[in-house]
Chains A and B, each alone.
Chain A
Amino acid sequence: MTPGTGGDAPRVVEAGLRSFVCAYERYVEDPFRLGQLVAVREGPWSILGCVVDTESGPEDPGRPLQAPGGSLTAAEVFAENPHIRPLLRTRVTVVACGYIEGEGAFALLPPAPPPLLARVESATPAETMHATSDGAFLALLVASALCDDAVLAAVLRGAATAHGAAAGEFTVRAGKELARLLKAEPARLSSILRGVTA
């Protein structure tokens, strides 16, 4: 099963033009993966974004999760303490990297943020290929303080998979775009590409 597609899709709970946060109804062990491209298809355009962070924890900050002693596995602890799971939430932070309106894909910020409570779903391979075809989508990601090298490497790896047989070609094309964007930061470029080839 594609990660993040099991059960109910997360919904947008904080919306911004550059980034948004979506939350699952509860804690999930297989949320969207780092660097995965996701889509919000509610509204006049589909907003595409890249998963830059995922965090799980108590919804109420006043009730921190206490670690039990003993040798139980996490699954066993959850089974023994069924009240814990409903108190936990998984939240995913997404950085917008483009949008699709009609037949056109734009590597630009969307004109408006995604609607609150809109469902966030995995981008289809076709959407991923469409949005990442020329590497321009990287500009928004590189410009985001939320996107570190590990995220960019994960994005490139994931998008390359969507490109199938043309993965190598895509990686070079995107890498070149990255090299242009990071021309003054060779160490960063190197670190990202190390993540891609790992």
Chain B
Amino acid sequence: MELLTAGLPGLVERHRARVSALEATLTAARAAADAWAKDPAEGDARIEAAMANTPTPYATSFGEPPTAAFPAPPFEPCTVVAADGSSIEPDRFAPVPCYVLNTGWAVLPYRVPGEAALASKPILGPREPLADAGEDDGEDASPGGRGWGVSLLRDIEERETAIHLARERLVHGPVVLLFDGTFLPWDLDSPRIAANVRRQVLRRLQDALALLATGDEPLSAGAYISGSRAGDVVTSLAVLAGQDPAAWLAADSALFATLLGEGERSALFRSRSQRQKTVEEQFPADSQVVFFYLRTGGDIARVELPQWAATPARVARLHATLVDQCARCDGYPRALQEAHEQAVISGADRQQFARLLETEAARQRVFPPSNGKQSSKRRRAV
């Protein structure tokens, strides 16, 4: 105990120093933000100039003062549609390489007609050789499963499913469409995924987003990132404050925790980076991603949406609905939670799938590659 007691003064001293450093940084950040708010165009120009040659993501303003905080408008009746996915990744020790995608969804009508629906749809892949195999200019989608881009496929399944469900529900009134994670899948440019896979997925995503953006129906869409660690805004503020972003605040949430009251959202920002640009170039201009932060139940969430969906009415509906959804589900949108519940592949299900696969392979006399380590993991006898 004496040894422990001896260490305590140093511990407390270090913490006190960190807190006072953070306070100082936040004060500086708020000052920079205020300045940005006074002349957003000038600020944006400085930020773009400073970040032009770095891979670090940053943000520029999007028609609203960067320090603004907007209370949630009243929640209006609508249908909330959400999708989420989970997967069983290819196992290189399995007798047959394959994967499973399970897309869960929730369609929850609030004071609008239509039946609530909670369901999921599993997909077993690959079903057949990819259509344009042979034109590969990247890594092949080999039978071993590498390069299949399962998580990318899962993302695209989620989006296609949710977008179709959302459009169906427009007949009953306004619809709010929610995804979990970023609005655009980052893996679209991943060199680890076979190019033909990426091309196919891109085409499907282009079609789906085009479908989502059709017309001017009362449709709001947003991708919800709970507890976001993104630092686009503080990176931009560091630039404005003349600081090194790497030594500046770690995440936007730390700043917005001081700016946003419960249920309030931040101003809209335009998300920028080299990589973002590469991905966004694949899509129409109005699909560029904008975002805001939202404070609900102690969480600072980042909400991404396509530029076309960032109209005041759509954002207001999205904002009100998210606040209402989070209030219904301990600070996380109810529809996303239920879609997730539908999508989850439990451990028992995974084991059962593995057994079924082995059984079928054995029936067709296909045996897994021998692997001592794997075998010993399965054989627990002493």
Contacts and interface: CB of A to CB of B under 8 A. Distances in A.
Interface of A: 60, 63, 79-83, 85-87
Nearest to B80: A82
A107 to B, nearest CB: 41
B202 to A, nearest CB: 33
Contacts of A82: 108-110, 116
Contact of B118 (A79, A80, A86): A86
Nearest to B112: A82
B157 interface: no
Interface residues of B, number: 14
A79 B111 CA distance: 7
Contacts of B328: 81
A86 B341 contact: no
A72 to B, nearest CB: 13
Question: 7 closest Cβ contacts across the A-B interface?
Answer: A82-B116, A86-B118, A82-B108, A83-B338, A86-B116, A83-B108, A82-B109
21 contacts: A60-B341, A63-B341, A79-B111, A80-B110, A81-B328, A81-B334, A82-B109, A82-B110, A82-B116, A83-B106, A83-B108, A83-B116, A83-B118, A83-B334, A83-B335, A83-B338, A85-B116, A86-B116, A86-B117, A86-B118, A87-B118
A83 B116 CA distance: 6
Contacts of A83: 106, 108, 116, 118, 334-335, 338
Nearest to B337: A83
Interface string B341-354: 10000000000000
A21 B257 CA distance: 53
Given A60-B341, A83-B108, A87-B118, 16 more contacts: A63-B341, A79-B111, A80-B110, A81-B328, A81-B334, A82-B108, A82-B109, A82-B110, A82-B116, A83-B118, A83-B335, A83-B338, A86-B116, A86-B117, A86-B119, A87-B338
A57 to B, nearest CB: 15
Contacts, number: 24
Nearest to A63: B341
Interface of B: 106, 108-111, 116-119, 328, 334-335, 338, 341
B191 to A, nearest CB: 40
Nearest to B116: A82
A81 B337 CA distance: 13
Contacts of A80: 110
A9 B114 CA distance: 20
Residue with the highest number of chain B CB atoms closer than 10 Å, among A60, A63, A82: A82
A105 to B, nearest CB: 39
A81 B335 CA distance: 10
A188 B133 CA distance: 75
Nearest to A85: B116
A86 B114 CA distance: 13
B184 to A, nearest CB: 27
Nearest to B109: A82
Nearest to B108: A82
Nearest to B338: A83
A85 B108 CA distance: 10
A162 to B, nearest CB: 33
Contacts of B119: 86
Contacts of B111: 79
Nearest to B79: A82
A63 B118 CA distance: 14
A47 B265 CA distance: 61
Contacts of A81: 328, 334
Nearest to A81: B328
